[in-house]
Amino acid sequence: MIISIITILQLFLLIILGLAIIYIFIFAFAGLFYKEMILSEALLNRKMAVLIPGYKEDAVILEVVDEALKQSYASENYDVVVIADSFQSDTLELLKKLPVKLIEVSFDKSTKSKALNKAMSQLPDIYDIAVILDADNLMAPDFLEKINKSFEKNIIAVQGHRVAKNLNNGLAVLDAVSEEINNHIFRKGHRALGLSSAIIGSGMAFRYDYFKTMMSDVKAIGGFDKEIELKMLSEKQKIEYLNEALVYDEKVHKAEAFTNQRRRWLSAQIHYFQKDIGKAVTELIIHGNVDYFDKAMQFIQPPRILLLGISVLGMVLFVLINYWLNIQPIYSSAWIIECTLCILALLMSVPASYYDKKTFWALLELPKGMLLMLSSLLKIKGANKQFLHTQHGTNNNK
């Protein structure tokens, strides 16, 4: 009886984990063959609005604005728009002295979608491209120039390459590695197979009129990028990826911030999976919309760090149990194969630049990261119905 229960249990786990592992392995392998978008010389210098919504981001906003004003793209062709929610008066006075458009906003319940919609309702319709940054993001000097060139391809949206701004402790390094894994699987791998790149919420650009119209219907409290991504893919719009257009993003280096951030992300993903999976299946069957269906399924994928932890733990545990109880060795072999594929998928996805001593020592924090992710997963109830702010401000270490 016990052997039958254990056999059924591990067969169930092998199927569930196996589907998730095969998914990331396919796209991780495909990512090795990703080809960067070829950028030709721009025939038009498009007018851009660099939209920077921020909530109580006094610690970082001045540096972000200062760097944003140093683009190689001609200054007359872009406006830096700071959408200031609950900033200190001293910060606002300093911002008013800079050549930026300052839009002050205040809401009973603050969200990024509200801030963006409020800003665009006040801005003139003179822009060709909307660039979205977080209040801690620093654009590489040539970021806007590359974005402008990419729109020569007559695209609707493009996601830039978000990289770590700080690697000041083990948790920050793990966060940076995690994002690069996602860049490889969900952006490089997807584009290599002809599917849309995932967007992240910042370091991304859209055709302005399309973005403004689309955002007017977005009411998301958390995960506004997930909502617009699903809207675009349901309309069969393609999202490009520009790996060489860099935006430096602050990585979380405190356990509380890590947990809150992941809790917000996981809650948004589950919410939008439940909301769109029915429509995505219908669109796949009737209209062959693979992109939309893939995105809905992507939202139910377990976090990579948890997938790795469960795979390793499951392999060790069940290989030993199978040996002790003399259960058929095929099950142990399946655990070893799945765990190996999971590890290979992650190894293929980590850039060579991260194979160094700093990452090696950061791996010691991996069990802590797994526990924090598990804690986030257990606390996701209601997280998508409230604004969870990630406090920024670190010593930068590019």
Residue 2 belongs to some domain of the structure: no
Using DSSP bridges, classify how beta strands 48-55 and 78-85 pair: parallel, antiparallel or unpaired: parallel
- Looking at residue 259, its pLDDT comes to 65
* Burial per residue of 85-99, b for 16 or more beta-carbon CB atoms within 10 angstroms, e otherwise: bebeeebeeebeeee
Q: Rounded distance, CA 218 to CA 209, Å? A: 15
Residue 239 belongs to some domain of the structure: yes
Classify burial at 285, counting beta carbons within 10 Å of its beta carbon; exposed 0-12, middle 13-18, buried 19 or more.
Answer: exposed
Comparing 192 with 4, which gets the higher pLDDT? 192
- Count of domains observed in the chain: 1
- Chain segment 95-137, per-residue pLDDT in tens: 999 999 999 998 888 888 999 999 999 999 999 999 999 999 9
- Looking at residue 397, its pLDDT comes to 47
> Could you give the strand order of the β-sheet that contains 204-207, starting from the edge strand earlier in sequence?
101-105, 78-85, 48-55, 129-132, 204-207, 157-164, 239-249, 138-139
Residue 176 belongs to some domain of the structure: yes
- Chain segment 145-200, per-residue pLDDT in tens: 999 999 998 899 999 999 998 888 878 888 899 999 999 999 999 999 999 999 99
- The beta strands (E) that lie in 209-313 are given as 239-249
- Looking at residue 388, its pLDDT comes to 46
Residue 81 belongs to some domain of the structure: yes
Residue 99 belongs to some domain of the structure: yes
Full DSSP string of 48-94: EEEEEEEES-TTTHHHHHHHHTT-SS-GGGEEEEEEEES--HHHHHH
CATH number for 239: 3.90.550.10
- Confidence tier at 263 by pLDDT (50, 70, 90): low
- Chain segment 85-96, per-residue pLDDT in tens: 989 999 999 999
Phi and psi at residue 154, to the nearest 5° = 60, 45
Residue 211 belongs to some domain of the structure: yes
- Looking at residue 373, its pLDDT comes to 66
Sequence-separated (6 or more) residues with CB below 8 Å from residue 239: 156, 157, 158, 159, 196, 197, 198, 199, 229, 232, 233
Average pLDDT over residues 286-293: 96
- Chain segment 43-85, per-residue pLDDT in tens: 899 999 999 999 888 988 999 999 999 999 999 999 999 999 9
Structural contact between residues 175 and 252, judged by C-beta atoms closer than 8 angstroms: yes
What are the CA-CA distances from residue 241 to residues 45, 267, 295 (Å)?
20, 25, 15
* Displacement of CA 26 from its chain's centroid (Å): 19
- Looking at residue 251, its pLDDT comes to 80
Q: Which two tokens stand for residue 255?
A: 């356990």
Q: Rounded distance, CA 166 to CA 383, Å? A: 27
Indicate if the alpha-carbon torsion angle 13, 19, 25, 28 is positive or negative: negative
Q: Rounded distance, CA 316 to CA 309, Å? A: 11
Q: Rounded distance, CA 356 to CA 364, Å? A: 14
3-state helix, strand, coil in the chain (%, to 5): 55, 15, 30
- Looking at residue 255, its pLDDT comes to 60
Domain with 79 in it: 9-398
What are the CA-CA distances from residue 366 to residues 25, 202, 304 (Å)?
21, 26, 12
Q: Rounded distance, CA 179 to CA 170, Å? A: 14
Residue 1 belongs to some domain of the structure: no
Q: What is the DSSP letter of 19?
A: H
Q: Which two tokens stand for residue 60?
A: 């970082």
Classify burial at 375, counting beta carbons within 10 Å of its beta carbon; exposed 0-12, middle 13-18, buried 19 or more.
Answer: middle
Q: Rounded distance, CA 65 to CA 81, Å? A: 9
Using DSSP bridges, classify how beta strands 204-207 and 129-132 pair: parallel, antiparallel or unpaired: antiparallel
Q: Rounded distance, CA 238 to CA 382, Å? A: 31
- Looking at residue 62, its pLDDT comes to 94
Q: Rounded distance, CA 281 to CA 290, Å? A: 9
Residue 3 belongs to some domain of the structure: no
Q: Rounded distance, CA 347 to CA 345, Å? A: 6
